Amino acid sequence: MNLPRRPRRLRQNSAIRKLTQETWLRKEDLIQPLFVKGGSEEPTPIPSMPGMSRLNIEDLIEKAKKLHELGLTAIALFPCTDPELKDPTGREALNVDNLACQAIRALKAELPDLLLIADVALDPYTSHGHDGILGEDGKNILNDETVEVLANMACNLAASGVDWVAPSDMMDGRVGAIRERLDDHGFTETSILAYSAKYASAYYGPFRDAVGSAQSAGTHALDKKTYQMNPANRREAVLEAALDIEEGADAVMIKPAGPYLDIIRDIREQTTLPVAAYQVSGEYAQIHAAAEQGWLDLEKTRDESLLAIRRAGADLILSYFAEAMLSDPDVRW
C-alpha cells in the first residue's frame, strides 16, 4: 500500500509511545479524600469502598503523613458525625470545636505544608441527610437560610486552619456569600474550590454510607434533585461554573468525573481557572467490584480511568485511588 501517513509508526514501541504521549498524570494532580470519626477506636472499614476506612484523628494524622511522604499534595476531609449530634438544621456544623475543626487543627499542627480541603455542606450534620435546611413542608431545601449557615461554617473551618473550603451543597449564591464572609473576617487567603457542577447522581451511595447521611435519611436513594443538577443537562453546567467564578471561586469542580467527561471538557474550555473533578465513591466501587469478579484488571482500569479524567481537562482529581496510585511502584509518573 502506498500510504504517505502511517499513524502506527508512532505506536510501534514503548519508547516512541512515551515520547509522543499527549496526556500525563502527575502525583501533584491527585487529592485523596479521607473520612474522620470521633473517639479513639480502631479504623472502621467501609465495606462498599474497599481499602477505605473511617479514621480517628490520631490515625488520620498517621495516614496523612504517609501520603505526604509518598508525594501527595492535598487531602479532602469529610467528617463522620456522631448521630446523636445530628438534628434537622445541622447545628453541629457551626460548633467551632466539631470533629472537622478538631481534625484540621490537629493535621495542621503536624503537617503544616499539606494542603487541607474541607467540605462545606450540611449533609454530615443533618438528621435527614440533606445538604441544607428543610422547609416546613419537609421537602424543599431553604436556599438563603442554608447559605447563611454555610458562610458561617466556612469561617469556622478557615479559623481552624484549613487552606481551601469546598462548598458542595449546590445552593444558589453560596460562593459569593462565603467569599464575602471569609473576607470580612480576615480570611482573604482562604481559597474556595466550588463544586460548580454537582449532579444528582446514582454514584454517591458508598460515600453516603461512609459519612452516615444514608443512615440519617433511612435510604440510599435520598432525592436531592431540587438542588443537585439534572444528569441530562450539559449547558446548565457551564452556567453554574460561570456564576461561581463571577462570585469569587478560585477553582471549579465537576462531580462525578467519569460519567461526565464531556462536562469537564466544556468547563475547561470556558475558564482559565483550575478545573477539578471528583472520581466519586460509586466509580471507585464499581471498578473494585468488577475486578473482584475477574472481569477487569484493577490497576489498568484504575490508571485508565484517571488518565481519561485528566485528558478531558481536569487539572486536579479527587480520587479514592490516590493512595494506591502513589504506592504502586509500577506507575510511571
Query: Shortest CA distance to 166 belongs to which of 213, 216, 131, 217?
Result: 131
Tell me how far CA of residue 323 lies from CA of 25, 31, 207, 318, in angstroms: 14, 9, 17, 11
How many alpha carbons lie under 13 Å from residue 106 in its C-beta half-sphere? Answer: 20
Report cis status (omega within 30 of 0) of the bond before 256.
yes
The rounded distance, in Å, linking the Cα atoms of 285 and 51 is: 10
Q: Which of 63, 86, 198, 224 is catalytic?
A: 198
Query: Shortest CA distance to 257 belongs to which of 205, 210, 201?
Result: 201
How many residues are there in the chain? 333
Q: Which of 37, 86, 224, 255 is catalytic?
A: 255
> Could you confirm whether 300 is annotated as catalytic?
no
Assigned C-alpha cell, 251: 477553582
Tell me how far CA of residue 16 lies from CA of 3, 6, 24, in angstroms: 20, 14, 15
> Could you confirm whether 65 is annotated as catalytic?
no
Residues labelled catalytic: 198, 255
